[in-house]
Chain A
Amino acid sequence: MARRYVIVGNSAGGVGAAEGIRQVDREGQITIVSDEPYPAYSRPMISKYLAGEADLAHMLYRPADFYAKQGIELLTGTAASALDLQAHTLTLADGRRLAWDQLLLATGGTPFVPRTEGLDREGVFTFTTLDDAKRLAAKLSAARRAVVIGGGLIGISVAEALAKKNLAVSVVELKDRILNMVLDEPASVIAEEAVRRAGVEVLCNTTVASVVGRPQNGGAVVSVFLDNGREVPCDLLVVAIGVVPRTDLAKAAGLKVNRGIVVDEHMATDAPGVYACGDCVEAYDFAADVVRPTPVWPNAYLGGRTAGRNMAGDAAVYPGGTACSSLNYFGLSLVSAGVLLPPANDGFQVLSRVEPERGLYRKLVLRGEQLAGLIYVGDINRAGIAFGLMREGAAVAGFAEELLADGFGLISLPRELRQSRLEGKFNGVHP
């Protein structure tokens, strides 16, 4: 009998799993359950939607005939409400019950919203789904000022879209610099300059202490008070502090959950036949050499693809993912990956090169012979070579300095390594 695969979540991880399954099993029944009413779309593009630069058709992650062609049943607009590990069933919010032989949880993350007074007012938004973007877009024409809480990737992406729509935007960041999770200090300075040049106000070392609303009109937001006493007027307030793994379904079912759902190198949970991937899990971070959530799109897809192949009976191993970012907001060209701020005296070595007049900054973090982290700002065209070496765990200490130079390339690599690249062999990706 054909295997019954049920996938909870219809974004990078869920689609990756379906494609992994289909690599191995053309016959099995695949059902994807999504609480969103759309086919899979590029979540990072919701800022393009808000800016009026893309609609859903433009945002589709896979061609419109993807589900039909791959023989996937897509159940949209319905949440999964209960998972029974013994009976092998999944109950949906609308009462339907699905039986599964193999199940994947790709439930993603939930935006973190602090308990600050007034964050339940009208005019306050989160920004992780297309529906979030639609709700926000509907308010743009009547709005003049926006405050964004959080200077991370999501905060900067929404700030850019709001600035493009000619709103006066202030970004409030608790730490001393924006993008502090994905950049080091010199790179943050470069990014902040670009953000300010676009007319966006950046307020660091502070946070929103309270939200002021109108007495009438349902108490819609009119301003925020920062913890330094300053009042910033705003019609819109976007909470973009971060996302936390969405693990409620897994927890209620009795799966092992730490910060995220716990999975092994096959992306299998501690229950037979149940896998998990993406923003809801904690998985191996090869650069930091720890197990932790690394909620980035490529890791979700690759974890999903690995899980899918294993669900279909293959033996695929997740090579590990690390935190990585690439950035084009506000005209920036910037990539980073791995350990950016190594602890002092812990066997790390840092190489860097700065040429502010060219907008160039490069930094490599080495642990022993291997690369553990990198940042390229400005000319990023060949940064993938360095990240490839990092993912492969190649011994680079002998030529690492060259990776900082102009015109570096595969020619900088030892002959044997270079030859394997020319032959199209790369050992950093397993599924």
Chain B
Amino acid sequence: MKRIVAREEYCIGCRLCEVHCVVQHSRTKNIIKAFKKERVRPTARIHVEESGPESFSLQCRHCDEPSCVYACLTGAMHKDELTGAVVHDPERCIGCWTCLLFCPNGAIAKDAAHGKVVAKCDLCGGQGTPACVENCPNEALVLEEVP
């Protein structure tokens, strides 16, 4: 499967990954409209962390042993058998926050745009290069094939 690798030494902390994650998960997929026109702005599924000169960007690691999937009370969180991605079905999510507690990376967030469910990286549907990787200006996020 493919996994996004975060390379701390290359991250410049520009947060373009967050911006493009929002655009990718917006209704119009247009940067101006997503931020200026759409009534609800999607929650970014990626998070830049910064402290002094250090920064890195992190989204779901799509773990081999996904605590969030094991802990999920409804089955909304599951591992896609084909792609290996940890994916989330908002229709089955009740926003109980159990996965938030069980993700060791804090990579799952309350979905501010859609009320009582969570939001997490979906690898942009598994098709092609995820928006955060595509738009990273310094290759701090790269897509790698992992066994």
Contacts and interface: CB of A to CB of B under 8 A. Distances in A.
Interface of A: 16, 42-45, 48, 58-63, 297-298, 301-302, 305, 324, 326-328, 333-335, 337, 380-385, 387-389, 391-392, 409-412, 419, 421-422, 424, 426, 428-431
Interface in B51-76: 51, 54-56, 58, 61-65, 67, 70-71, 73-75
A302 B73 CA distance: 12
A384 B96 contact: no
A287 B97 CA distance: 20
Contacts of B6: 422
Residue in B50, B107, B109, B116 whose Cβ sees the most chain A Cβ within 10 Å: B107
Given A42-B73, A60-B75, A297-B71, A424 B100 contact: no
Interface of B: 3, 6, 8, 47, 49-51, 54-56, 58, 61-65, 67, 70-71, 73-75, 91-92, 94-110, 116
Contact of B104 (A298, A324, A384): A384
B49 A409 contact: yes
A384 B108 CA distance: 9
Contacts of A391: 104
Nearest to A299: B71
A45 B104 contact: no
B97 A326 contact: yes
B75 A42 contact: yes
B27 to A, nearest CB: 23
B104 A428 contact: yes
Contact of B105 (A44, A392, A421, A429): A421
Contacts of A410: 49, 56, 58, 105-106
B39 to A, nearest CB: 22
B102 A298 contact: yes
Given A45-B94, A297-B71, A422-B6, A411 B102 contact: no
A381 B98 contact: no
Contacts of B73: 42-45, 297-298
Contacts of A426: 63, 65, 67, 104-105
Contact of A424 (B51, B62, B95, B96): B62
B3 A424 contact: yes
A381 B109 contact: yes
B75 A422 contact: no
A421 B104 contact: yes
A282 B41 CA distance: 46
Contact of A383 (B50, B71, B92, B100): B100
B98 A326 contact: yes
A384 B77 CA distance: 16
A381 B110 contact: yes
28 contacts: A43-B73, A45-B73, A297-B73, A298-B102, A301-B70, A301-B71, A302-B71, A324-B101, A326-B98, A335-B100, A380-B110, A381-B100, A381-B110, A383-B106, A384-B100, A384-B102, A384-B106, A384-B108, A409-B47, A410-B56, A410-B106, A422-B56, A422-B58, A424-B3, A426-B67, A428-B67, A429-B65, A431-B65
Given A59-B74, A298-B98, A380-B101, 18 more contacts: A16-B70, A298-B73, A298-B102, A305-B70, A326-B101, A335-B97, A380-B97, A381-B100, A381-B110, A383-B101, A387-B101, A411-B50, A411-B55, A411-B56, A422-B8, A426-B104, A426-B105, A431-B65
List 3 A-B pairs, minimum CB-CB distance, nearest first.
A388-B104, A382-B106, A424-B61
Contacts of B106: 381-385, 409-410
Nearest to A379: B110
Contacts of A392: 104
Given A381-B109, A409-B47, A428-B67, A326 B96 contact: yes
A324 B98 CA distance: 9
Residue in B50, B54, B106 whose Cβ sees the most chain A Cβ within 10 Å: B106
Contacts of B8: 419, 422
Contacts of B109: 381
A323 to B, nearest CB: 12
B95 A45 contact: no
Given A333-B97, A424-B63, A384 B103 contact: yes
B108 to A, nearest CB: 7
Nearest to A54: B94
Contacts of A337: 101
B135 to A, nearest CB: 19
B54 A411 contact: yes
B30 to A, nearest CB: 27
Contact of B94 (A298, A328, A335): A328
Nearest to B43: A381
A384 B70 contact: no
Contacts of A422: 6, 8, 56, 58
A42 B104 contact: no
Contact of B74 (A45, A389, A430): A45
A62 B101 CA distance: 21
